[in-house]
Structure 1
């Protein structure tokens, strides 16, 4: 599959990274002579961030090329994403060029942050609004607006690259997300202009307070809880009258004169000017990865989108005659102050590899729900090479012993270079969850486990069975 990205700025670069890391080839057109450098920097951030929110490997990365013209970028493209500046005359000019090279039954997906699809398509080009949020390679929301048939074509592609399409059946300027952001932005500008708050104080109020709630529940569910057991009716009874109080200036807009712009710029520089934009982007990405990984545990909000996308990723397969039981990138939450993967993370990685092996033999969630499982009783980890943030790891699992109540596993952890980074040896006992005592597994599980043990018997396992500190 091929995506054509027209415009390689912040949003276009994010789209390129999202498609590439989901296995699409990308042809990008941008007349900026610095485009290749800028895209390379965005892609470096994305490679470290997007795979880190998944517990399975994304598809092999697609091929990136820089086209010398719009026509060459669009030729044979399965998806065309327009991400040029927010000037409708420029967009219409670009659409005319795209339309000349657009494949039959193709359409243009616009990243516009405010124009209605009907305005974008006013000169006859088949345009649908596909409005993302920055960083495109991490945040899942895409607002779809425009002709229903084009939205229907766009939706499955958006879902296939791990994003969440929100259908807008009524055309409005700026859509939903930007209107809500604009309301907060206007109020913030008034507080700055009136000397009520600084840029740092406003940001602290959001990130230390309601921003954390919004990440997992949004607006109305948050207020429903605020109403207590009686719910939304109680909330409105308590706080509804405040809507008529003179708290807000949302119906008015401050004049962004030179004095206000200078004031905001100076405060912003004092707040975060000690970091470069790339440093701030990496900080943002690391924080978002941690939040998204937290949300995926419960499947809440964007975490549910990650889980749904992950469920459709390719199976792990085999390596050297052994099943691959884990293939994932190292998230920032697994690293320590030295910048490399810490001991607890190796244990967690081994836990998930063991879980995958258990599923392979039928000791899955249904088996556990029926009252039986394997419990870990001993683990030995050998650390053989440093592993850093963003590095892709692959784990194979060998069954060393699989009869009676015992299951002994040997996990090999391979780094991105293919070298062995660690080994994890684990002994488990099959347990009755009702009595909490060891017992033989059911016949079907025992047979599958014994078959794997037999198949793995002839495979050498150097490093297994040694004492702590023993390397050979």
Structure 2
């Protein structure tokens, strides 16, 4: 699959990373001579952060190419994403160039944050090919993308766009009716206007306004959004009670939403000065990495509960392929996230155990002890384990874990995990684990199902001819000469 990105700024670069890191070939058209460097900076951030969201490896990167002609850039493209500045005449001109050379069945998405699709389609050679696909920065991390069709947009194209966006880990929000600025930016505009007035009237600084968001409702919004947050605020009586209690406040003169302070030089200087005082001690690259690290941490927390963006990550991760079997099954293949490292800059010892636990869970799935099996009342519990720490592992390293079955009889399963980095060349840890099969209803040990026992026996037979792994049977404090 091939995507063409027209316009390589912050948003365009994010689209490049989103497609490329999900295995698509990506071509770029941007006359800026510095486009390759700028996109390279975005890609460096994306390669560091996007794989950190997942506990499975993303597919191998596609090929990235830069082109001086539109015809070369869009040739063979399945998806074309236009991300040029917000000028309608410029977008019309660019779309005309694209449609002169693009495949007729390619989707032409626009990153516009304000224009309606009917405005973009006006005068187009193939109006039905154009659709709004408005993302949020950083595009490679934030899953939301507003998909806005017009009356001319075939439903089949909207559905195809939705499916492609889901396949690259995004959350497409189909906007029911086209409207200026779509949905999210209209909400952001309301907060932005109020923020400008609060600064202009001397009520708060830029930092104080940001604090009111990041320490308060911003955290609630990340998991529940606006209406669900207010439903909870209504207590046991629910949303009707909340609206009855706070609805009258809507008539009070709290807001200036229909007005905006004049953008005088004094106001611009005031806001710029406060912003410099707030975060001018950090470069844009440092701020981007801080933002990405925080987003990864929050979205990984949401991933555990499946709330908000975490649910999107879980759904996408379930579609990622698992490595093929070789001599030993590969039970983990993933990048080490920033949150797994400690003050020494390498992976915390507890995370070696977590990675080993993920390998055990994956192996259990391979022998049939999956979510359905657990729901039926059976599982394996770890009763003893031993870890050897052999090498340091830093953030961004790609871990691969293989699993060998040392023995399995009756209720017992005895596993040995080898943990590698550097494309499997460097052994960084081993983990020996003994598990017992449990009846979850009786809370007692029990025999596994016949199907699970048979599958496990096949692994025992396959691994029986292998030599005992180095490190198996060790105990804490045992010398190498023992």
Q: Shorter-chain TM-score: which interval?
A: over 0.9
Q: How far apart are the structure 1 equivalents of 2:218 and 2:480?
A: 49
Q: Does 1:465 align with 2:465?
A: no
Q: Which residue of 2 aligns with 1:39?
A: 39
Identify unmatched segments of 5+ residues in structure 1: none
Identify unmatched segments of 5+ residues in structure 2: none
Q: Which residue of 2 aligns with 1:367?
A: 373
Q: How far apart are the structure 1 equivalents of 2:140 and 2:2?
A: 17
Q: Which residue of 1 aligns with 2:418?
A: 412
Q: Which residue of 1 aligns with 2:253?
A: 246
After superposition, where does 1:138-149 map in structure 2 within 5 Å? 138-147=141-150, 148-149=153-154
Q: How far apart are the structure 2 equivalents of 1:57 and 1:63?
A: 18
TM-superposition CA deviations, 1:87-120 (whole Å, max 9, x none): 1111111111111111123342100111111111
Q: Which residue of 2 aligns with 1:355?
A: 361
Q: What TM-score, normalized to structure 2?
A: 0.95
Q: CA deviation at 1:435?
A: 4.2
Q: How far apart are the structure 1 equivalents of 2:160 and 2:377?
A: 45
Q: How far apart are the structure 2 equivalents of 1:351 and 1:21?
A: 26
Q: CA deviation at 1:468?
A: 2.8
Q: How far apart are the structure 2 equivalents of 1:169 and 1:434?
A: 47
Q: CA deviation at 1:385?
A: 1.8
TM-superposition CA deviations, 1:302-344 (whole Å, max 9, x none): 111111111111132224x111111111112211122211111
Q: Which residue of 1 aligns with 2:235?
A: 228
SS of residue paired to 1:39: helix
Q: CA deviation at 1:197?
A: 0.3
TM-superposition CA deviations, 1:137-166 (whole Å, max 9, x none): 111111111233132331111111111111
SS of residue paired to 1:81: strand
Q: CA deviation at 1:169?
A: 2.2
Q: Is the 8 A contact 1:463 1:471 kept in 2?
A: no
What is the number of equivalent residue pairs in this alignment? 471
Q: Which residue of 2 aligns with 1:110?
A: 110
Q: Does 1:134 align with 2:137?
A: yes
Q: Is the 8 A contact 2:171 2:312 kept in 1?
A: yes
Q: How far apart are the structure 2 equivalents of 1:104 and 1:370?
A: 50
Q: What TM-score, normalized to structure 1?
A: 0.97
Q: Does 1:392 align with 2:398?
A: yes
Q: Which residue of 2 aligns with 1:263?
A: 270
Q: Which residue of 2 aligns with 1:52?
A: 52
Q: Is the 8 A contact 2:414 2:435 kept in 1?
A: yes
Q: Is the 8 A contact 2:51 2:334 kept in 1?
A: yes
Q: Is the 8 A contact 1:4 1:77 kept in 2?
A: yes
* Larger CA deviation: 244-253 vs 366-375: 366-375
Q: How far apart are the structure 2 equivalents of 1:18 and 1:59?
A: 12
Q: How far apart are the structure 1 equivalents of 2:368 and 2:164?
A: 33
Q: How far apart are the structure 2 equivalents of 1:444 and 1:69?
A: 59
* Larger CA deviation: 139-148 vs 179-188: 139-148
Q: Which residue of 1 aligns with 2:167?
A: 160
Q: How far apart are the structure 2 equivalents of 1:151 and 1:430?
A: 48
Picking from 159, 179, 182, the partner of 2:186 is 179
Q: Which residue of 2 aligns with 1:346?
A: 352
SS of residue paired to 1:402: strand
SS of residue paired to 1:231: helix
Q: How far apart are the structure 2 equivalents of 1:446 and 1:415?
A: 32
